Amino acid sequence: RYLPGDRGYPTTADWDRLNRTVGGRLVKVVPLAQICFGSNVNDAACAVLREQWGSVDPFLPDPVHVMSPYWLNNSCNPSLGPTGSCTLGNMAPYAIRVTGASDVIAGIQFASAKNIRLTIKNTGHDYLGRSTGEGSLALWMHNLKDTAALDYKSSYYKGPALKVGAGIQVLEAYKAAKDHGLRVVGGACPTVGLAGGWLTGGGQGPLTSKYGLGADQALEYEVVTAVGRRLVASPTQNSDLYWALSGGGAGNYAVVLSITVKAYRDGPVAGYSMLFTNTNPESYWAAIKAWIQRLVEIDIKYPTFNSAVTFTNEFFSLDFATLADATESEIETVLAPFLSDLQRLQITPLRTDRHVSPTYYDHYQYFTTNPSVNGTSLTVSNRLIPRSLAQPDRLPTLIDTIRGIATTGSNNSAVFVIINNNVTHAHVGNRPGANAVLPAWRDSLFLLNFGLQLLPEGNAPWSQIREHQVLVNSWLDAFRRLTPGGGSYLNEGTFDYPAWKTEYYGANYGRLAAIKAKYDPEYLFFANAAVGSDVAWRAGPDG
């Protein structure tokens, strides 16, 4: 594909014609932090941006920039101004502010005719660099904000549903559902796009133990294919594409304009949070072991319970637990055995909070105001931990591996997150192979995220960013040895893990590759670690 500077790259006149085609909605992109450099310096605005650079906030409304420090690669870091270098780097120089299918079709036709890369950007929640590409034309989907509550009727589902545009974020979807007396499955982060990489990569969140993964909720997609055709994909129309979109990865088979998902009647939701610190290492790590042991019991006795625990070598935070359609006493009953474990270990929580909200939206708002780890300056990966590894004879090995990583001197900023999700086929109510979700999800007790905090936040040197990428991949090697035949959550993995095909797609890869070839025969869509990404594309020496 042509890059800026190549003889065949689009001219200014070409871009002007595209702008007229899309009704003036072509955005010529400038570096987000340009206000911190050279003659463009605005000291007050730059100070605000510098303060926000380690969070997702400045990237959400931007047409091309993403939150990942690796993919921003310090090309225009506000902390390096005013005399440092400021270029677009990996970001697209032009973006179409998409308002409908015709804009997407125009972008696809232009990128194909001009032989340049096409990228797709919604919120910028992107660890794998799927939304970035030097010299590309970006489809900026963030402004597709329509929502509609439906009484959905089909041969495969009858009941309430919510249709959302591709730009709808999780919190917006929760609010739209609440306004109609409903709740929907979404992510734990309020600014993640519901219809983007979150759902198409599987999608886990606070209600997944109650109803299943995000991909399990999909009823139909409105899409534009790589040849510019507008289609509906559902279990009865273009069913192979529907299958691939439901867990097989984002931005790779078609451009999603909207998605319709199952919705559920709302009601009270019980929640709980807790914090304690490491004042006695043996007791502290025994408490982490006890938590996992209790998750095994909870998985059987209270299968709709969901929780997210963030911990380091210094603190343990039950960020929030979710038990839908429950009372305060019921969630206390669930957690009572673990609280007894803490007493036995002489650990006194610094804070506990239990709360019952009248709706899921209110529950979510209550417990997500103060997350234990803020910002985006993390290099992350993960492993799905099967129930078998949490059994008494094998659990010590898992704890020793985690503790070994967390207590190694150079890893003092290591962060772990345990998210329990009961998404077995029996619990969710779908059959094996119903969608392209990685099969390892169905046997997992919890998702173990792990990562390293980049320091200083928002201004880490490139050498540290790259070093952390290598180190986190080596941790995944260690967890893979404990979980042969398992896998990882695509959306929170690394782009360069050598075994990415088996790690993120497993036994589904062959079928997904055939669907990719059918709907994108010229391999127009490219994303790192995406199905078929190694068929027609090769990374240059500069990445």
Tens of pLDDT, residue by residue over 340-397, are 999 999 999 999 999 999 999 999 999 997 554 446 788 999 999 999 999 999 999 9
377, 497: one domain: yes
Instruction: Please state, in angstroms and rounded to a whole number, the distance separating the CA atoms of residues 376 and 68.
Output: 7
Specify the DSSP class assigned to residue 260. E
Query: Which range is least confidently modeled, 15-29, 49-63, 433-447, 500-514?
Result: 49-63
- DSSP secondary structure string for all residues of 86-139: ---TTS-SEEEE--SHHHHHHHHHHHHHHT--EEEESS---SS-TT--TTPEEE
245, 276: one domain: no
The arithmetic mean of pLDDT across residues 33-59, rounded, is 94
Give residue-wise pLDDT tens across range 136-193.
999 999 999 999 999 999 999 999 999 999 999 999 999 999 999 999 999 999 999 9
Report long-range pairs for 512-518 (Cβ below 8 Å, ≥24 apart).
512/244, 512/248, 512/249, 512/436, 515/240, 515/241, 515/243, 515/244, 515/248, 515/253, 516/244, 516/252, 516/253, 518/240
Instruction: State residue 375's pLDDT score.
Output: 60
Read off the pLDDT band of 538 (50, 70, 90).
confident
Instruction: State residue 542's pLDDT score.
Output: 60
Instruction: State residue 4's pLDDT score.
Output: 97
Instruction: State residue 413's pLDDT score.
Output: 86
Closest listed residue to residue 525, CA positions, set 244, 173, 207, 117: 117
249, 287: one domain: no
Q: Does residue 400 lie within any of the structural domains?
A: yes
Place of tokens 């399990």: 216
Instruction: State residue 372's pLDDT score.
Output: 45
Give residue-wise pLDDT tens across range 188-210.
999 999 998 999 999 999 999 99
Q: What is the dihedral of CA 516, 518, 522, 526, to 10 degrees?
A: -10
434, 380: one domain: yes
260, 327: one domain: no
Closest listed residue to residue 523, CA positions, set 510, 534, 512: 534
Q: Does residue 541 lie within any of the structural domains?
A: no
Q: Provide the percentage of residues in the chain whose pLDDT is more than 90.
A: 92
Burial 459-474, CB ≥16 within 10 A → b, else e: bbeeeebeebbebbbe
Give residue-wise pLDDT tens across range 277-304.
999 999 999 999 999 999 999 999 999 9
Tokens standing for 529? 């670690």
Residue bearing the bigger pLDDT, 412 or 307: 307
382, 414: one domain: yes
70, 156: one domain: no
Instruction: State residue 371's pLDDT score.
Output: 53
- Average pLDDT, whole number, for the chain? 96
Q: Does residue 6 lie within any of the structural domains?
A: no
Of 140, 165, 188, the residue at which a domain comes to its end is 140
Instruction: State residue 315's pLDDT score.
Output: 98
219, 123: one domain: no
CATH of the domain at 114: 3.30.43.10
Handedness of CA 490, 531, 509, 217 (dihedral sign): positive
CATH of the domain at 463: 3.40.462.20
Q: Does residue 510 lie within any of the structural domains?
A: no
Give residue-wise pLDDT tens across range 97-140.
999 999 999 999 999 999 999 999 999 999 999 999 999 999 99
Of 233, 266, 299, the residue at which a domain comes to its end is 266
Report long-range pairs for 36-44 (Cβ below 8 Å, ≥24 apart).
36/76, 36/78, 36/80, 36/81, 36/82, 36/86, 37/76, 37/81, 37/82, 37/83, 37/84, 37/86, 38/82, 38/83, 38/86, 41/81, 41/82
Instruction: Please state, in angstroms and rounded to a whole number, the distance separating the CA atoms of residues 195 and 200.
Output: 7
Rg (CA), the chain: 23
Instruction: Please state, in angstroms and rounded to a whole number, the distance separating the CA atoms of residues 253 and 104.
Output: 14
Residue bearing the bigger pLDDT, 352 or 543: 352
pTM of the entire predicted model: 0.96
Instruction: Please state, in angstroms and rounded to a whole number, the distance separating the CA atoms of residues 54 and 265.
Output: 37
**Number of domains comprising the chain:** 3
Q: Does residue 538 lie within any of the structural domains?
A: no
358, 243: one domain: no
Instruction: State residue 373's pLDDT score.
Output: 46
Query: Which range is least confidently modeled, 232-241, 352-361, 370-379, 431-440?
Result: 370-379
Query: Which range is least confidently modeled, 375-379, 428-432, 443-447, 466-470?
Result: 375-379
The arithmetic mean of pLDDT across residues 36-54, rounded, is 94
Q: Does residue 517 lie within any of the structural domains?
A: no
Q: Does residue 530 lie within any of the structural domains?
A: no
Whether 15 has a pLDDT exceeding 50, the answer reads yes
Instruction: Please state, in angstroms and rounded to a whole number, the distance separating the CA atoms of residues 187 and 213.
Output: 10
CATH of the domain at 187: 3.30.465.10
User: Contact at 8 Å (CB) between 210 and 162?
Assistant: no
Closest listed residue to residue 239, CA positions, set 148, 151, 155: 155
488, 373: one domain: yes
- Containing domain of residue 43, as a range? 12-140
Residues in the chain: 543
Closest listed residue to residue 191, CA positions, set 79, 381, 379, 62: 62
Of 208, 232, 266, the residue at which a domain comes to its end is 266
Stretch (H or E) spanning 473: helix 462-482
294, 165: one domain: no
459, 417: one domain: yes
